[in-house]
């Protein structure tokens, strides 16, 4: 794992990211010694970059919903999976920003009632 962290952080002296719980996290980075950082130019392929962006969309939607007062009592990973499924529906149906947030808020409210749901079924009734 330390090698993987060095590859991810590159030659950075510090690196921060927002965890799924909404808190900023600063993983330790070994910036000393011969194995610190990377010497080769590390680049993501277009497919890898697209996957990173795609994975962050559910988190972005959640932050926007929180600004509107949304709350979630379940696990952050469950919320991310649910919103990740919602993002797939959004893409297939080409919803605009307003419709996307409305749809995701409806989905989150439906799930908050404790009902087990299928994302596609809720969308058909949206």
pLDDT tens-place string over residues 3-28 = 555 555 566 667 777 777 777 888 77
Higher pLDDT, 117 or 51: 51
For the chain, the structural domain boundaries read 1-42, 44-126
Q: Which pair of tokens denotes residue 59?
A: 């988190």
pLDDT tens-place string over residues 31-45 = 555 555 555 556 778
Higher pLDDT, 52 or 58: 58
- Is residue 65 within 8 A of residue 100, CB to CB? The reply is no
Higher pLDDT, 66 or 74: 66
Instruction: Compute, in degrees rounded to 10, the torsion defined by CA atoms 82, 22, 102, 124.
Output: 0
Higher pLDDT, 32 or 53: 53
Burial of 107 (0-12, 13-18, 19+ CB in 10 A): buried
Residue 65: per-residue pLDDT: 94
């Amino acid at each position: 794992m330390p090698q993987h962290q060095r590859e991810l952080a590159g030659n950075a002296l510090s690196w921060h990211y927002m965890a799924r719980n909404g808190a900023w996290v600063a993983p330790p980075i070994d910036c000393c010694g011969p194995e610190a950082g990377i010497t080769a130019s590390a680049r993501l392929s277009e497919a890898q970059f697209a996957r990173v962006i795609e994975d962050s969309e559910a988190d972005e939607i959640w932050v926007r919903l929180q600004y509107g007062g949304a709350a979630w009592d379940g696990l952050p990973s469950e919320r991310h999976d649910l919103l990740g499924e919602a993002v797939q529906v959004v893409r297939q149906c080409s919803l605009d920003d307003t419709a996307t947030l409305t749809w995701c808020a409806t989905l989150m409210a439906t799930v908050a009632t404790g009902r087990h749901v299928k994302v596609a079924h809720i969308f058909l009734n949206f």
